[in-house]
């Protein structure tokens, strides 16, 4: 086999490998997520990736082919290119050895012919993720030199020299040198000069990209045990790699691949550079000659161009390394690690868990405010982190601390985290991922200035946080949660049901704050089952006009998609009301709850918990009994649905039923049977807790309600444990009397809230 034949990419081998990996990927635990502007993959020429694990070197080529159909050239260590089947296989997939003579000229020609080039400019795995030196510059540890060094400039030299060639070729076109262009086209293996010039008109684009893994696990796995079984006395370095990479591949791990903004080396070319490029290319006999200018320049213009390219290569290298490390997908562990190390650096031996949790939450909120930071799902979905300031239950932080405890870095001693001596010890390059994963997380995020600044701001603020500021952060989470949930249930499998929905009003929560001091009373407005905050927005604005602060909470699963509601339990709705109360309690001295239908029932359920600032509750048309007797069958249908989901991939025997709503612009048209089942469970729980309600309550009920049996109001009134309670009937055949302000409904609510506000003012 000739050298040229060896370097040929085999389309059959390439396509077979892509199909094989697609099959294997479905069986692995790693979740590959590509974040990229669509045109970056298609228009980019040189793709740069950081290097943390061995297996990741195959992923970029797979993704580029999958998305664009383009073949890639990649550079691999020469040790893999032995004269055997494996070496031949690597060549067939487009890989070339890093010591190949004429490597850069070869890659430049491949780019002109439409290939992509994948490069790992760190030159090896960076296990410690430490890429920033004490002076703030980029450097990495070199295993061969056993010291830290700057990153390679090969990709920069490739792009800049390719730009010189393209500039020179366009110069030949401008001077009408058609024969020379034809010779260049033949030399480069292209069909004709037109194809060559078409390639020359596209500036060389370097696309820096970052691969981020989350989480990093240090527990044992089958891969490591299998390797130990068949290779007794295995080198510790390979044990470590089997453990870390085995966990990535076999356990639920996110692999985020994020493409940054392309680096256009042509932007560094001034008039002098273009003039020099045209002169040099006009005399050059081959691409090899251009890449040899640095050491073999014979004329003054060649020497000048070589010096200028060398300087530009350093600038280009720094630009794309900055782009690569700025593209880290920042997760919760990235923030927890440097925050925790900050306490250690400040001389703390322990930190109270509640203090650390609050500081981490505030750090998340600061980082969220910077659009330049790329956030992992663990920092975009409030459900993933809001436990930090609720009950302390945050799965991401729990895993992070479990890992630190297992590594002997931190001890949990409720109510504090105690820092162990190992945290301050140095660990070898091949041991740090196992011995101190906390440092690996901190190193990975160190290049991102916005994160460093946010950590500094949180440390400087200390514990001086007022409740109003915390409430504003919590409300921001409610808005983010709405956007996240809405996006999560707009996938293709949700489309058929979503397309039949009639709701046009926004499902977003709202917060209305009065100008000036206000009444001192805040109102939590809670909508009903299937609706959204828009249902009671008019009432909320009326209360706001009276000087009250108002929050329109969104019950989880509502205002987005019926599929969202199908995934929720009634306790999720209850948690939404609790969060609304907490937000308002941080803004005003006293709080009232106004709820309609299920919202009224949930308001009463919260009152049974006796929150400190609760002044009273309005419950309008709350359900305890229903007009529709078919609801008795809901548990049976729900059980059949759950069984069907368990036995097959089908969504259930009857997952949704149609809803003929009074307010189709607000309510879901499709009711999930699971939602009706949870509604029944909620009603049972609320009824059992009514005797525990002690605050003032106003109960309002439509006399001809066709959804809720009007008897519900009397049952609620009778069972309430409150001494001060009122029952009002509104003459109407409608259920939605609050939305429509039927009869005296709004006046009854406004007057009751005004009385509560007056009492609160008298107590102040």
Residue 764 has pLDDT above 80, yes or no: no
Listed residues 293, 325, 357: the one ending a domain? 325
Tens-place pLDDT, residues 347-388: 999 999 999 999 999 999 999 999 999 999 999 999 999 999
Q: Is 508 exposed, middle or buried (0-12, 13-18, 19+ CB in 10 A)?
A: middle
Say if residue 361 is in the same domain as residue 490.
no
Instruction: Specify whether 500 is located in the same domain as 446.
Output: no
Same domain, 159 and 224: no
Residues 429 and 493 in one domain: no
Residue 174 in this model has a pLDDT that exceeds 90: yes
Higher pLDDT, 274 or 637: 274
pLDDT of residue 643 exceeding 70: no
**In a shared domain, residues 163 and 228:** no
Q: For the chain, how many structural domains are there in total?
A: 4
pLDDT at residue 3 above 90? no
pTM of the model as a whole: 0.91
Confidence of residue 56 (pLDDT cuts 50, 70, 90): confident
Q: What confidence score (pLDDT) does residue 638 get?
A: 42
The answer on 526 and 395 residing in a single domain is no
Residues 62 and 91 in one domain: yes
Do 394 and 498 fall into the same domain?
no
Out of 156-170, 368-382, 530-544, 618-632, which region has the weakest mean confidence (pLDDT)?
618-632
Residue given tokens 């001494």 in the structure block: 723
- Averaged pLDDT, 598-605: 98
Q: Are residues 628 and 537 in the same domain?
A: yes
Integer Cα distance of 592 and 718 in angstroms: 21
Pick the last residue of a domain from 252, 269, 299.
Answer: 252
Distance of CA 647 to the CA centre of its chain: 32
- The pair of structure tokens assigned to 722 is 């409150």
Give dist(CA 46, CA 108) in Å, integer.
10
> Do 235 and 354 have their domain in common?
no
Determine the pLDDT at residue 298: 85
CA distances (Å), 5 to each of 91, 102, 449, in order?
A: 10, 16, 48
Answer whether 61's CB lies under 8 Å from 115's CB. no
Same domain assignment for residues 591 and 665: yes
Pick the closest to residue 280 from 263, 303, 264 (CA basis).
Answer: 303
* CB count in 10 Å sphere of residue 107: 26
Domain that holds residue 715: 469-763
Query: What is the domain-level CATH number for residue 708?
Result: 3.40.50.1820
Same domain assignment for residues 559 and 669: yes
How many C-beta atoms surround the C-beta of residue 86 within 10 A?
A: 11
Q: What is the pLDDT of residues 203-252, one digit of tens each?
A: 999 999 999 999 999 887 666 666 555 555 567 777 788 888 888 888 89
**Residue labelled with tokens 């920092």:** 379
Average of per-residue pLDDT values in the chain: 91
Among 228, 252, 276, give the residue marking a domain's end: 252
């Amino acid at each position: 086999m000739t050298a040229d034949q060896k370097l040929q990419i085999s389309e059959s081998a390439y396509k077979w490998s892509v199909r094989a990996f697609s099959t294997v990927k479905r069986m692995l635990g790693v979740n590959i997520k590509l974040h990229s502007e669509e045109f970056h993959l298609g228009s980019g020429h040189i793709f740069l990736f950081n290097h943390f694990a061995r297996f990741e070197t195959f992923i970029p080529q797979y993704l580029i082919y999958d998305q664009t159909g383009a073949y890639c050239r990649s550079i691999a260590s020469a040790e893999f290119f032995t004269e055997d089947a494996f070496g031949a296989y690597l060549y067939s997939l487009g890989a070339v050895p890093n010591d190949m003579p004429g490597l850069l000229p070869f890659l430049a020609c491949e780019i002109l012919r439409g290939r992509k080039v994948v490069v790992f400019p760190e030159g090896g795995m960076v296990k410690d993720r430490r890429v920033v030196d004490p002076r703030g510059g980029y450097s990495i540890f070199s295993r061969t030199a056993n010291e830290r060094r700057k990153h390679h400039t090969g990709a920069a030299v490739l792009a800049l020299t390719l730009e010189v060639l393209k500039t020179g070729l366009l110069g030949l076109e401008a001077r009408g040198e058609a024969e020379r262009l034809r010779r260049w086209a033949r030399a480069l293996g292209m069909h004709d000069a037109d194809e060559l010039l078409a390639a020359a008109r596209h500036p060389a684009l370097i696309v820096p990209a970052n691969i981020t893994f989350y989480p990093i696990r240090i527990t044992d796995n089958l891969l490591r045990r299998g390797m130990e079984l068949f290779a007794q006395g295995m080198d510790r370095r390979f044990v470590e790699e089997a453990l870390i990479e085995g966990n990535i591949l076999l356990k639920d791990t996110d692999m985020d691949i994020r493409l940054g903004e392309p680096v256009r080396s042509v932007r560094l070319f001034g008039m002098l550079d273009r003039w020099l490029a045209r002169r040099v290319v006009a005399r050059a006999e081959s691409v090899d000659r251009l890449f040899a200018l640095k050491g073999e320049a014979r004329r003054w213009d060649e020497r000048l161009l070589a010096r200028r390219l060398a300087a530009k290569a350093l600038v280009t290298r720094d630009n794309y390394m900055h782009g690569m490390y700025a593209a880290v997908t920042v997760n919760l562990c990235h923030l927890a690690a440097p925050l925790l190390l900050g306490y250690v650096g400040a001389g703390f031996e322990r930190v109270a868990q509640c203090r650390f949790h609050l500081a981490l939450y505030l750090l998340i909120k600061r980082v969220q405010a910077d659009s330049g930071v790329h956030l992992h799902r663990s920092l975009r979905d409030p459900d993933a982190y809001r436990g930090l300031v609720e009950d302390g239950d945050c799965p991401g932080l729990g895993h992070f601390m479990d890992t630190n405890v297992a590594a002997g870095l931190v001890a949990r001693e409720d109510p504090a985290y105690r820092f162990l001596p190992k945290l301050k010890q140095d660990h070898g390059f091949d041991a740090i991922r196992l011995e101190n994963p906390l440092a690996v997380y901190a190193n990975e995020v160190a290049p991102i200035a916005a994160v460093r600044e946010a950590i500094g701001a949180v440390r400087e603020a200390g514990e001086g946080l007022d409740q109003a500021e915390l409430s504003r952060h919590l409300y921001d989470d409610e808005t983010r949660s709405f956007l996240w949930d809405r996006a999560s249930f707009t996938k293709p499998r949700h489309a058929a049901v979503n397309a039949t929905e009639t709701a046009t009003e926004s499902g977003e929560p709202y917060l209305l704050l009065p100008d000036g001091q206000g009444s001192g009373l805040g109102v939590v407005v809670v909508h009903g089952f299937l609706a959204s905050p828009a249902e009671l927005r008019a009432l909320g604005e009326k209360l706001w006009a009276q000087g009250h602060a108002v929050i329109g909470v969104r019950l989880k699963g509502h205002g987005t998609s019926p599929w969202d509601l199908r995934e929720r339990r009634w306790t999720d709705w209850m948690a939404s009301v609790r969060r609304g109360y907490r937000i308002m309690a941080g803004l005003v001295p006293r709080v009232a709850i106004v709820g309609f239908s299920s919202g009224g029932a949930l308001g009463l359920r919260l009152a049974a918990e006796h929150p400190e600032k609760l002044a009273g509750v309005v419950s309008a048309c709350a359900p305890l009994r229903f007009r529709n007797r078919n609801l008795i069958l809901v548990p049976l249908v729900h059980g059949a649905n759950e069984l069907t989901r368990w036995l097959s991939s089908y969504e259930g025997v009857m997952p949704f039923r149609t809803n003929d709503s009074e307010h189709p612009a607000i309510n879901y048209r499709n009711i999930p049977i699971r939602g009706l089942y949870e509604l029944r469970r909620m009603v049972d729980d609320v009824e059992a807790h009514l005797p525990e309600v002690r605050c003032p309550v106003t109960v309002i009920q439509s006399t001809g309600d066709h959804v809720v049996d009007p008897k519900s109001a009397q049952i609620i009134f009778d069972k309430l444990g409150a001494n001060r309670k009122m029952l009002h009937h509104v003459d109407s055949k409608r259920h939605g009397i609050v939305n429509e302000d039927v009869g005296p409904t709004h006046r009854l609510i406004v007057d009751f809230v005004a009385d509560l506000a007056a009492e609160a003012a008298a107590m102040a």
